[in-house]
Structure 1
């Protein structure tokens, strides 16, 4: 199953080029917002991707459901090849729109022990700060 649209692939590769360009110029690496969110429909695994190289290796925040989300690389081909019970596979959250840079999601996920719980805490905090709690 294809997880990326051409538009999302372009955004992911642009972020990778921006990071490489910053490194080459001796600048601080950018902290982009995640472009795509992938999840297992039958488990706790969740991934937030910010960039992709020419080989289809994504970079972002990975949470396999063991209580220790971490920044790192993961393969698009491997995500697309996963076969789960009931004929399901890894899915892309079609409605995902990042509200924060990756570093914020990573900090919230580490503190909460999962990306999903971290996202809930971020949403709750944003509502409180806006007076909509």
Structure 2
């Protein structure tokens, strides 16, 4: 049964090496409890995986992508790194501090004196 199944699968997959990786990955999925797309017929997981590939009940490209994903050690994520996050937080705090200092520099009036308050000038004139 397996030899015939392998011969049927060669038409669906580029080469035998890819077939081995894809079928082994699917057999692991079946062992982990994935749903079967062909009848079990008391076959082992590897034979079931080959039958699924031969009968095209599951896409070989999808299985190939799953195998590649499981073998990757480093997966790039588009999230900013912690150093970038810290730098952004510091820059936001720095910007907030600059805004406060600009207000103080722009308004040099003493704390007791309010702009437009003429009451201090009236006391000197009398």
> Which is higher, the Rg of structure 1 or of structure 2?
2
Q: TM-score range by the shorter chain?
A: under 0.3
| TM-score computed with the length of structure 1 as normaliser | 0.26
Q: Which has the higher strand share?
A: 1
